A and B are shown apart, each in its own frame.
Chain A
Amino acid sequence: MSDHLHIQNIHKDFSGLKVLTGVDFKVADKQRHAIIGPNGAGKTTLFNIISGKFKPSSGAILYKGEDISGKPPHLLNRRGLSRSFQISNLFQELTVFENVLTGVRSRHRMRCNFFKRPNSDCTLCAATEAILENVGLINEKDKPASSLSYGKQRALEIAITLSTEPELILLDEPTAGMTREETELAIRMIDRLTKNHTLIIIEHDMDVVFSLAHIISVLHYGTILVSDTPDKIRNDQRVKDAYLGEG
């Protein structure tokens, strides 16, 4: 297996505050990689750097062997990298359908076209409905996003993330704030939708992490404490001390 993403010695400081102090890990092609760690460890900052929102202070990010650090988010998305947000980042006033269509037409290069109407394009509408079917929102497609329940907004967040048909998916706490049942559903959905994709997931819920991930990295005070398979992570003394506790 080749490396899909290779994070090389990433540092990030915000005017003196060192958030990341040398993060290093590799994500193999088609692998599911979970990042866990206590609050404030820098998980979301790391996502912001990978997805192009922030520039790293130093270090490199190799995406399919090419350094992408500092490239703007829209170019990274066009190359197959898509992320979700910890706090649902939707187009609140628009319908569920329009929300997902936004990504679908971006994928089909219908971003700034002055003459074509995306809503009259059968290919785009069919692709959008297929995604909505997959995440179980097809019955809500004409409702405004703001009217959905919290759990469904989280599902829509994932739907939007998948709408650009990414190869590398970054999910930032997809099940945050969900009930037990919603989480179960979400795990199965993520499992189904991210088959044959490379996935990096930030998660606090250990059930989610241990049932989805092939490899788990523990981020602790700005650096990777350990990266290994779920079984080994479960029994690692350092991880127990730093994060898992005696669970």
Chain B
Amino acid sequence: MKKNYVAYSVMVILFLLGAFMPVILKSYQMNMLTEIIIFTLYAVSYNLLLGYAGLLSFGHAMFFGLGAFVTAIAINHIPGISLINAVLFGLAATIVAGFIIGCLLLRHKGSYFALLTLAFNSLFFVVATKWSSVTGGDDGLSITRPDLNLGFTSISMTNANHFYYVALIVVGIALVFCWYFTQTAMGKSVVLMRENEERMKFLGYNTNASRLILFTFTGALAGLAGCLYALHFQFVSLSAISVDMTTAVLIMAFVGGTGTYWGPILGVFVYILLQNFLSDITDRWAFFMGLIFIFMVIFIPGGLSQVIMNLYQRFFGKKTDDNTEVEETT
């Protein structure tokens, strides 16, 4: 209960901080912050698969990209579509896709699951590349953000800060729900499945169905992030649905640490800030990102959140936790 109280307080504080950012930051930095917030949802959804369920997916970008493309296509082809409806289109498409692909994958685990998701991601990428009449192919799709119509009032989305608030609120709600989700019956079952799937079956759990639900759910969250991504950049290119986008989220989650809920959120901040910083200095930023990733996997497999937890235990642990002494002597 106490843990919950802390978690919700931190989220509220972060949200309020985020709400004040447009006053402090320049528009260039605001752009980056919006990107970070959108990727936060993407990374958290990925961590529910990787960290909580122990399922390594190489195909998360297919949902992210599908959400982005369907939103963009809906905006370009349906005149006068509202912002909310465009997002709902993208979300619906990813839910359907997640369910169908999930049905095909649900019997597989481990490396088979990883390879099959990779295959599906490649399939989506090829379709997006070849079906250029709809997706724009290599040129990508340009869109104009529709206004947000709330019924009683309409908010113009041409102002980037207005869209920032939309992203902040949508992602904020989604993240609070994800945190709540980790404590629900389904969220607990996901962790149990990672721990001992066989025993669950003998306790009346249909683990294949649970996996399908989780896969669809995390896919939908990634799709929602993709919708926001398309709306943020007002442009969708093939990179959104490429395998690179999957490895990006894998690195984000890993750098932050998959062992905690907030690790991947931290990972997104570090990844995007570092990427911007490095790409200012050198064209070969991807090379250095790769080096950092390799270093992390070898030396700190628990990610930055593990480092922080260890430091926390070292300095404050004695008062709160008896395990510290064991930690320090070992």
Contact = CB atoms under 8 A, between A and B. Distances in A.
A136 interface: no
Interface in B64-113: none
Contacts of A106: 203-205
A85 B203 CA distance: 12
B320 interface: no
Interface in B174-211: 180-181, 183-186, 188-189, 191-192, 195-196, 198-207, 209-210
A24 to B, nearest CB: 25
Interface of B is mostly: helix
A178 interface: no
- Residue of B196, B198, B210 ringed by the most chain A CB atoms within 10 A: B196
A92 interface: yes
Contacts of A105: 185
A117 B183 contact: yes
A54 to B, nearest CB: 13
A98 B183 CA distance: 12
B213 A112 contact: yes
Contacts of B199: 85, 89-91, 160
Contacts of A89: 196, 198-199, 202
Contact of A92 (B180, B191, B195, B201): B195
Contact of A117 (B184, B198, B203, B210): B184
Interface in A189-204: none
Nearest to A94: B195
Given A74-B201, A74-B205, A106-B204, A111 B185 contact: yes
A163 B185 CA distance: 16
B186 A113 contact: yes
A114 interface: yes
Given A91-B196, A117-B183, A119-B183, A72 B201 contact: yes
B204 A77 contact: yes
Interface in B253-295: none
Interface string A101-119: 0110111001111111111
A238 interface: no
- Residue of A73, A106, A111, A117 ringed by the most chain B CB atoms within 10 A: A111
A76 to B, nearest CB: 8
A69 interface: no
Interface of B: 180-181, 183-186, 188-189, 191-192, 195-196, 198-207, 209-210, 213
Interface of A: 51, 53, 72-74, 77-78, 82-83, 85, 89-94, 98, 102-103, 105-107, 110-119, 160, 163-164
20 contacts: A53-B202, A73-B201, A73-B202, A74-B204, A77-B202, A77-B203, A82-B202, A90-B196, A91-B192, A91-B196, A92-B196, A94-B195, A111-B206, A111-B210, A112-B185, A114-B184, A115-B184, A160-B199, A163-B203, A164-B203
